[in-house]
Structure 1
Amino acid sequence: MLTEEFVSTICGPPLSSNTAVAKDVGIYCHTLSPTYSVKSTFKKSSVPVNCLGVSDTHVFAAQHEKAYVHVYSRIRGNQEAFVAFPERIRCLTLAGDVLVMGTTEGRLMLWETCTGRLVSTPARHVQAVSCVVATPYHILTGSDDSDIHVWSLPQLLELDSTAEHEPKRSLSNHRAAIMALSASTNASSDTNFCVSASKDKSCIIWNYQTGDVLRTLLFPSTPLCLSLDPSARALCVSCDDGSLYLAELFASKPLLGAQSEDASTVEQISSPFGATQSDVGPASCLSFSYDGTMLLTGHPRGQILRWDIAENKSPVELANLNAAVTNIAFISPFPTHRPTKTVTITKPTQAERIYTFTGQFESYSAPETRFDSLLGATSFPQDTLESAIAAFYQPAAESAGDQELQRQNEELWEIINEQRALQKQTLQRYVEAKSNR
């Protein structure tokens, strides 16, 4: 049975003098299934919304109103590094081994955690970058200036590039600050889309590679956060009145696709999926489980609630962290097969130096092949040499593909010869008829 785990963060002082909750803990690692429990904790951290990144080996947490990031090792269970940056970090996300950060000055910074290389863009946003998401080939940044920029990840990480970094395009239909972003992770350009939530009480679904608006959704109140389910077929939005809205993108009346209405049609979302009590407050963060059947929401009064999407029951309180819950991130239950692993991060630097990669090679678990045995041998084995010499004296055996090709060639030559004979016979009759005249 797969074990589902997630990481949550809090921000701000304790809400009550509850001695059952440790006061100096800022990051919690939970086990959701098969049985809920708090697996481990990390201390001395105050993490605002959109400022958490979790990899297979590390947890990255930007600090509230600060210009530094705390790095925790999941392998060793302690704080590994305290990393300072030139500007205050407003949001961050992970793109593989690259930590992508948005600053309060409207700048984008990328830190390669395996090399220490730090890439910084000009301040292309007029105001602070409020949220950032990564796809396999793009970085999307939303800002308080109401714009969304789409960046090419390969171009941002290009070595020895002297050109000034510019976004590929800007998405500018919103009229107020961007609160949240979520994007599908499909590699196909035809099915890539992102969803943005704004203080103008709307969410817009974009084809971010072309800049086209696919659908606009209107809500009764301001959206605070949103999340796409793992298959990108449903969208969950939390609003500041405590309501949760679930929009199915490909239902009987689809919002996207060939059967949907025209993109200029605005969809009013008015029926909430659920609502929280006033003493709990609206959800400031939410995340789907990896099978899409459960939704976790974090609240400013410290509660983490679990919602059953399939059965639509009342939420269940998983935990009360005695401080405002700001981030919830699920950890993939499926192992990732990568050739290297970042055991120890390399702190960022902008100094000119040799590009050095630091990582640990993973063991090769595939069954040993004949090539592997030859590669590990000190010289050519005797049986290999004998079989190679014997192969030179044996006639080459025709494969099934060669035999089929030869048969087709023979049939083609028969047709050509028949045509030649017919042409010769026709020409001979023409000569005879002409001579009789």
Structure 2
Amino acid sequence: MLSDELFSSVCGPPIAANTAISKDVGIYAHTLSPTWAVKSSFKKSSAPVHCLAISDSHVFAAQDQKAHVHVYSRARGNQEALVPFQERIRCLALAGDVLILGTAEGRLILWETCTGRQITTPPCHVQAVSCIAVSPSHVLSASDDSNVNVWSLPRLLEAGQDIGHEPDRTLSNHRAAVIDLVLGPGSNPETSLCVSASKDKTCILWNYQSGQVLRTLLFPTAPLCISLDPCARTLYVSSEDASLYLVELFGDKPLLGSRSAELASIVMQINSPLGVADEDVGPASCMTVSHGGTSIITGHVKGKILKWNLVDNSHPAELANLNASVTNVVFAPFLSEKKHTQAVTVVKPNQSQRQYTLTTQLEGDLDHDTRFNQMLSANGFSSETIAQALASFAASGGSSS
């Protein structure tokens, strides 16, 4: 049975003198289904919000108020490397084998973990980069300066001159720091959806490839973390007053698209929350939606992880108490992209080097597929298989007569 694997991180001192919870553990790997349990843990880490990324083989965690990243091996369950950088890391995100980091000086650092190649942009924001979101072809960086920059990922990675070291466009409708940023799954230029949340109490829905504002949502208090469901049809927002809001983008009164009854310039006030967390839990600092879209997992400043069931809209259930501020909850990749190679270990970045060595492990059999494997992977029966079967049937019939 397939199970959802959830990673969580904590940052800061213990909340209570609870000896049952290890003070040295900073990252936990949990199984969400069929039952909640701690699968493994990683020590000596203190990752703030937006500073945890998960790949098929590794865990990357930027450290609080420091200029280095801890790299953990998921297979071996230990720390594989400590990678230093020249500036403090405020956030990070993973795009394939490229780890993208936002610094306190407003720069982006791209690190190819399989070769060690490092690319550093000039200060693209006038203040620190607060969060990063990635798609297969774009990088979006948000900042305390209230702006969101849209970058072409292939241009950033292009070898040679610094052709990609300027953003394609800047999204600048917010009036305060941007504190969270999410992307929809679509890559079509006409449906490229992203949502930014700001301390100005608004969430703005954008087409990030055109720079068009699709909708502005206003909340009673500032949103702290946001998430989209897997189909990007519903937006979930957790705010400073511990409320959780559900905003349907394509419901009976669509907010987006040609069926929308109002102009995109009209600000929509959101007042009715889906639910409110208990007072002893505190506001959520991080949030994620399950792969099936039926539940929401929130991590809270008072150490608890809650599960909100969207099927029956019941009161949130407490999954764990980690006795420190929960800063990240991230699901591990569920259906990973098929790769023919896998890097055995990460290679530390080197910005001055111009030649790189790739050490990788080949996945699968190098021989050609057998006839059975070809038949197994085909949709139905191929014409070649049917022709061989008919020829065999005709030959057997002729010999018997």
Please report the TM-score for the alignment, with normalisation by the length of structure 1: 0.83
Distance 1:307 1:51 in 2: 24
Distance 2:310 2:368 in 1: 42
Pairwise CA distance, 1:336: 3.1
Alignment-mate amino acid for residue 332 of structure 1: P
Distance 1:255 1:123 in 2: 35
Alignment of structure 1 residues 366-377 onto 2, 5 Å: 368-369=369-370
Distance 2:357 2:10 in 1: 35
Question: Deviations for 1:346-384, whole angstroms, at most 9, x for unmatched residues?
Answer: 0001123313223212114997257x9xxxxxxxxxxxx
In the other structure, the counterpart of 1:264 is: 265
In the other structure, the counterpart of 1:77 is: 77
Distance 1:217 1:324 in 2: 28
In the other structure, the counterpart of 1:202 is: 202
Question: Deviations for 1:309-360, whole angstroms, at most 9, x for unmatched residues?
Answer: 1210001000000000000001133243111112200000112331322321
Question: Deviations for 1:125-166, whole angstroms, at most 9, x for unmatched residues?
Answer: 000000001011100000000000000000000011243610
In the other structure, the counterpart of 1:35 is: 35
In the other structure, the counterpart of 1:428 is: none
In the other structure, the counterpart of 1:433 is: none
Gaps in structure 1 of 5+ consecutive residues = 373-437
Distance 2:281 2:11 in 1: 16
Whether contact under 8 Å (1:290, 1:332) holds in the other structure is no
Question: Deviations for 1:169-211, whole angstroms, at most 9, x for unmatched residues?
Answer: 0000000000100001222222211000000000000000000
1:3 to 1:197, Cα distance in 2 relative to 1, 3 A: same
Please report the TM-score for the alignment, with normalisation by the length of structure 2: 0.90
Alignment of structure 1 residues 137-216 onto 2, 5 Å: 137-163=137-163, 165-216=165-216
Kindly indicate which of the two structures has a greater share of residues assigned to helix.
1
Distance 1:287 1:235 in 2: 11
Question: Deviations for 1:5-51, whole angstroms, at most 9, x for unmatched residues?
Answer: 11000000111111110110000000000111000000000010000
In the other structure, the counterpart of 2:278 is: 277
Distance 1:361 1:223 in 2: 45
Tell me which moved more, 235-244 or 328-337. Answer: 328-337
Alignment of structure 1 residues 185-334 onto 2, 5 Å: 185-260=185-260, 261-334=262-335
In the other structure, the counterpart of 2:397 is: none
- Secondary structure at the counterpart of residue 262 of structure 1: coil
Question: Deviations for 1:33-73, whole angstroms, at most 9, x for unmatched residues?
Answer: 01110000000000100000000000000000000000000
Distance 1:329 1:248 in 2: 23
Distance 2:296 2:365 in 1: 36
Question: Deviations for 1:256-304, whole angstroms, at most 9, x for unmatched residues?
Answer: 1110121111111100011012211010000000000010000011000
In the other structure, the counterpart of 2:24 is: 24
- Secondary structure at the counterpart of residue 154 of structure 1: helix
Alignment-mate amino acid for residue 257 of structure 1: G
In the other structure, the counterpart of 1:57 is: 57
- Secondary structure at the counterpart of residue 102 of structure 2: strand
Percent of pairs with identical residues: 60
Alignment of structure 1 residues 396-407 onto 2, 5 Å: none
Whether contact under 8 Å (2:54, 2:333) holds in the other structure is no
Pairwise CA distance, 1:231: 0.9
In the other structure, the counterpart of 1:99 is: 99
In the other structure, the counterpart of 1:133 is: 133
Alignment-mate amino acid for residue 205 of structure 2: I
Whether contact under 8 Å (2:185, 2:230) holds in the other structure is no
Aligned residues: CA RMSD = 1.6
Alignment of structure 1 residues 349-428 onto 2, 5 Å: 349-364=350-365, 368-369=369-370
Whether contact under 8 Å (1:136, 1:185) holds in the other structure is no
Q: How many residues align?
A: 372
Whether contact under 8 Å (2:228, 2:289) holds in the other structure is yes
Distance 1:223 1:245 in 2: 10
Distance 1:8 1:86 in 2: 27
- Secondary structure at the counterpart of residue 32 of structure 2: strand
Larger Rg: 1
- Secondary structure at the counterpart of residue 284 of structure 2: coil
- Secondary structure at the counterpart of residue 33 of structure 1: coil
- Secondary structure at the counterpart of residue 220 of structure 1: coil
Alignment-mate amino acid for residue 312 of structure 2: E
Alignment-mate amino acid for residue 327 of structure 2: T
